[in-house]
Amino acid sequence: MKFSLTWLKQYLETDATAEEVSAKLNAIGIEVEDLEDPAERLTGFRVAHVLTAAPHPDADRLQVLSVDTGEGAPLQVVCGAPNARAGMKGVLGLPGAVVPANGMVLRKSAIRGVESNGMMCSVRELELGDDHDGIIELPDDAPIGTSFTEYRSASPVFDVAITPNRPDCMGVYGIARDLAAAGLGTLKPLPLRDAPSSFPCPVEIRTDDPEGCPAFYGRVIRGVKNGASPDWMQATLREAGQRPISALVDITNFVMLGFGRPAHAYDLAKLSGAVVARRATDGEQVLALNEKTYTLDNSMTVIADDKGVHDIAGIMGGEDSGVTENTTDVLLEIAYFDPDRIGVTGRRLGLASDARTRFERGVDPAFLDDGLHLLTQLVLEICGGEASEVVRAGNPPSERKAVTYDPSLAERLGGVAIPEVEQKRILESLDFEVSDDWQVTVPLRRHDVEGAPDLVEEVVRIHGIDKVESVALPRADGVARPTATPQQVLERRLRRAAAARGLNEAVTWSFLPPAQADHFSPGDGGLWVLDNPISEDMKVMRPSLLPGLISAAKRNLDRGAAGLRLFEIGRSYLRADNGMSDERAILGVVLAGEKTPRGWASGRAIPFDAYDAKAEAEALLAAAGAPVDKLQVMGEAGPQFHPGQSATLRLGPKNVLARFGALHPRTLEEFDVEGPVVAVEIFLDAIPAKKGAPSFARAPYSPPALQSVLRDFAFLVDADLPAGDLLRAVKGADKANIVDARIFDNFRGQGVPEGKKSLAIEVTLQPGEASYTDEQIKAIADKVIAAAARQGAELRG
């Protein structure tokens, strides 16, 4: 929520600076996310007087102005604004000033051969509004040479984060109340002035849904003129991030932001019959002010007349009854809606608004009359007209909670000793009523206060959270036991291993666009779709880590990165058959672009391929403690992968530990990435845990006493036999003596029959207590040949 220091001081009598206010807000638990001083953005802009205006000698639409800045000789400025003329006063940006709208640095330059010393500025260029038809025109009494920030009295703007439990601070007046309680000034009384009623209200107002709308107040003001709102109100709303629209709309926004009280204005001429708060009927539709049509159901509260729905109650008004510049009679509506009903309706419709944010957190039910009075007096002062009597339908909640409080709780729960007198002062300054026996009556607007601990929070934060002393938690003597779970230990180890291999860690969203999620879905409708997403492009929980990594790779490639090695450890989310969430811990890797840049040796750049993906998968599985030497390479990596350049790593035929390979061209097309791109997905929960207690210590290195023995074998096998199958059989031929085996040659050609290939394997034998004899080596070789024969291999002669 944004507001200016000037607006705050309308309700708080204080001499505090913006920095002091910011520090105090943080101290009392209202986090200041940003403090912006518009004066800094408008440095270098001055009030200037146009002395003369002559046509440009070489451009029909340009003029050459002589401008008095109040210092020295007039400056020559080239200007193309249609309203530029001699005698007017405007805003001149001097050389060196930065235009807020586009960041352009102004310089002395020649425009069509004529020197120009700066720029006469429009409203849009200084980000003071949307008008760009001409340059700013200031009143005749504007002092020449004055800094524009000083002339405009630009005020620092706070951007604060209001937690959901503090709806009372969703208005500037509520924040002023907290600051006054914290001793930063004095809270001014509500700016209520006389707003007499002149005639009976000509519209019947009632509530037929007392559960959804317990109270519905309204009155008519006739004879209004709905033009632009005053400059002070437009400036106040712009500083708060709101776009001024018209006087009537701006007034309702001003009251909502100033006092946390949403309201609505209807064009009376567009209403027919009684105005009623009621339940919608199934299928009923309304065209909202955002120009979207919403289909309603009977769980939703609406404001309607005899013709139909005009307002999604507490969330957004309708287009059909909205006020325009031609509105002359207006119905002001202010109501209390059930917070739960507002929240459910907003989520079902996927509709968010400033009004919904306040109503679903709970507005002050005691502020209906005062809120309507404030609206009325502002309309009468700005738009004119006369007001009818107020119609009050229903009754807002009026029962106040009473809480028994013990002042010693402040020290016991809050960790700070505060005198009872000070605690009582704090509570009463926040409008709590405190009796002599510490029975505390809670204001109606404080929906968050339910018990004594909540009162401790109020007392401690106003006293100053920074005054709570830091105290270390008790700790037992001796060496602390490990607190990380085996899963956390595994993930930390894998992060170090991946980084050591040159991979860069990425952290991507857990939400995906529907199309990307569908592309990686298991195909059985197991995706989780959010009812209330942060955006339409982030509405499906990710079924895999690869979509986020592929998108991250695309962003980097589009920005000129030559080669990328990204990894992420996170969770995938699928809907299980029983309706519960099926979450898996996954390590994802994406390799894209160039593996090796072009050079004198290789010539062209070398891209990543499926073998690079396999190498990463095996290395990371080894780091995770998986029995890599026992893994089988099998197909079926999934439709997202290229069928001829991908595979899975399995421990047995069913336990898939990882899938890897080049991504399918359709996948690259879906993500708009130029290939090739290879990827790895390791399923951490599929890696079997080691038997026995986990050991965090590295085993001592003990080299064998005797030298190892190498033996080479060459086998003829079918051309389609996976080399890994033969290698695995050779390794298992004699586990007591064979410690390693590797393929060092794969040959097809002269001397090898058609449909066959020659695989040469180097086998490492490790003797134990004595060196091998020739007979022992021959026996081992016979076992190797026999194991290979079971795979259909024949020893080459």
Q: What angle do CA 96, 101, 103 make, to 5 degrees?
A: 40
CA–CA separation, 332 and 255 (whole Å): 12
- C-alpha R_g of the chain: 37
Give the SS3 label for residue 736.
coil
State how far Cα 321 lies from the chain centre. 34
Which residues are within 8 A (CB) of 495 and not within 5 positions of it... i.e. 6 or more apart?
A: 505, 569
Q: Is 34 annotated as a binding residue?
A: no
CA–CA separation, 695 and 698 (whole Å): 8
Query: Residue 264: beta bridge partners?
Result: 333
- Name residue, tokens 């805003």: 91
Give the SS3 label for residue 494.
helix
Contact 777, 713 (CB under 8 A): no
| Element of type H or E holding 584 | strand 581-596
Cα–Cα nearest to 205, from 197, 216, 215: 216
Q: Is 354 annotated as a binding residue?
A: no
Q: Tell me the DSSP string of 507-532.
A: ---SEE-HHHHHHTS-SSS---B-SS
CA–CA separation, 428 and 459 (whole Å): 10
| Element of type H or E holding 119 | strand 119-120
Amino acid letter, residue 498: A
Give the SS3 label for residue 502.
coil
Output phi, psi for 789, to 5 deg. Answer: -65, -35
Output phi, psi for 340, to 5 deg. Answer: -65, -40
Q: Is the dihedral of CA 299, 303, 309, 313 positive or negative?
A: negative
Amino acid letter, residue 675: G
Q: Is 674 annotated as a binding residue?
A: no
Give the SS3 label for residue 442.
coil
Cα–Cα nearest to 780, from 708, 715, 730: 730
Using CA atoms, how far residue 160 sits from 12, 23, 34, 461, 697, in Å, is 17, 12, 7, 16, 49
Q: Is 284 annotated as a binding residue?
A: no
Q: Which ranges in 568-630 belong to alpha helices (H)?
A: 610-623
Q: Is the dihedral of CA 784, 785, 789, 793 positive or negative?
A: positive
Binding-site residue positions for Mg(2+): 448, 454, 457-458
